[in-house]
Amino acid sequence: MHFSSSIFGQLLKPINRKQFQAIVDRHDGNAYDKTFKSWDHLVTLLFAQFSCSGSLRGLIEEWNANRQHHYHLGTQNRLKRSTLSDANERRPVAVFADTFSLVAAQLDAGKRREGNEMIRLIDATPIPLGKLCDWAKSNGRIRGMKLHVVYDPKTDYPRVLDITDANVNDAQIGRTVSIETGASYVFDKGYCHYGWWRAIHEANAVFVTRPKVNMRLDVVEKRPISQSEGDGFTILDDVEVRFASKGDSKLPMRLRRVSLKRHEGGGTIVLLTNDLERSAVEIGALYKGRWQIELLFRWIKQHLKIRKFLGNNDNAIRLQILAAMIAFALLRIAARTFRVATPIHRLSDLIRAFLFNRRDIAAIERPPPVNPSRRKDRTVANQMSLAYG
């Protein structure tokens, strides 16, 4: 009989098992859990994401209730609550972090871009933790963690992912980002660090950001404004500037300040960049495009399971967040591979309903075909039939 993989099995296919095992070996991922290996752990946490399991006990019951499907997923053991809890506390986070990089990189396959099309949006979103996580640190507003992302809006691909305590400064993470030549980095004033700006410039890349309120700038030269109206904003001013301070606050490149006013009652926004080539309207459009990373964060928090956690320790929470981001990448790979026209949130709902159903993801909205092994009725309506007396 022809084997047909389940929806869940098809979602897992982009994870190359040999490459995954190399990751496990590199980080000694199975050192403390010999029977519940890293692959078992990953598949279980991905199941929790796709099935929207809300608790550790519920996850265990749902997982064990579908044991007949586990063989084709490469995991067969009946799972115990204590086993999963121990693995959540001890398994190296780097195993899941490298797996995310392995999977998410496939979103960028065949879509390499150069020059002005290489846009990187950088931002962070808070992940509040409950009162049970009394170890979590606070930044004055929330107690918990922060998810830092370098996002490529052209491919819908988070190129860099990092998880830190809530009190870690955004600029500290920004400085660790590997700078790509020719890329345009867009970020807010929280990533203000002159040394990092200098590194971006020296790598022949550009940045667009907002200056802090206390940043003193002197006007060097006014630039002509050939076009003042943008999509939802009007350019007010475009000048070349330099730091007013006579101390160490100097940069070895020319800076440009663009002021714009948002339509529909919006306020004035001041932008600072080292890009002297784009027009003021293009600079404004670049910063306006930052809303795309906000939409990414909103989608993640609405459709992935990172509001309630399966453990209260730091390691378990990091593993669950990374599993959620791996699930995010797998969903988008499936949507592209099978050319699913359904919106991604609708696709995630259908996957939850048919997770172990053996049908093609491309046909997930259609009813399953009639069983081909069932014998067809070949009798003719006006044909005589024999019967035993």
Give CA–CA dist 104/99, Å, rounded: 8
DSSP summary character for residue 270 = E
Q: Is 98 inside a domain boundary?
A: yes
Q: Is 174 inside a domain boundary?
A: no
Q: Is 93 inside a domain boundary?
A: yes
Q: Which residue has the higher pLDDT, 54 or 376?
A: 54
Highest mean predicted confidence (pLDDT) among 1-10, 18-27, 369-378: 18-27
pLDDT in tens, 257-288: 999 999 887 789 999 999 999 999 999 999 99
pTM for the model stands at 0.86
Q: Is 251 inside a domain boundary?
A: no
Q: Is 78 inside a domain boundary?
A: yes
Q: Is 278 inside a domain boundary?
A: no
Work out the average pLDDT over 91-105.
94
pLDDT value, residue 277: 92
**Cβ 219 vs Cβ 241: under 8 Å:** yes
**Cβ 320 vs Cβ 129: under 8 Å:** no
Residue 114 has pLDDT above 60, yes or no: no
DSSP summary character for residue 179 = P
For residue 79, the enclosing domain spans: 7-102+309-363
Give CA–CA dist 317/268, Å, rounded: 39
Structurally, the chain folds into a number of domains equal to 1
pLDDT value, residue 115: 47
Q: Is 373 inside a domain boundary?
A: no
List Cβ neighbours of 339 (8 Å cut-off, separation of 6 or more): 362
Residue 347 has pLDDT above 60, yes or no: yes
Confidence class for position 358, pLDDT limits 50, 70, 90: confident
Q: Is 375 inside a domain boundary?
A: no
pLDDT value, residue 381: 62
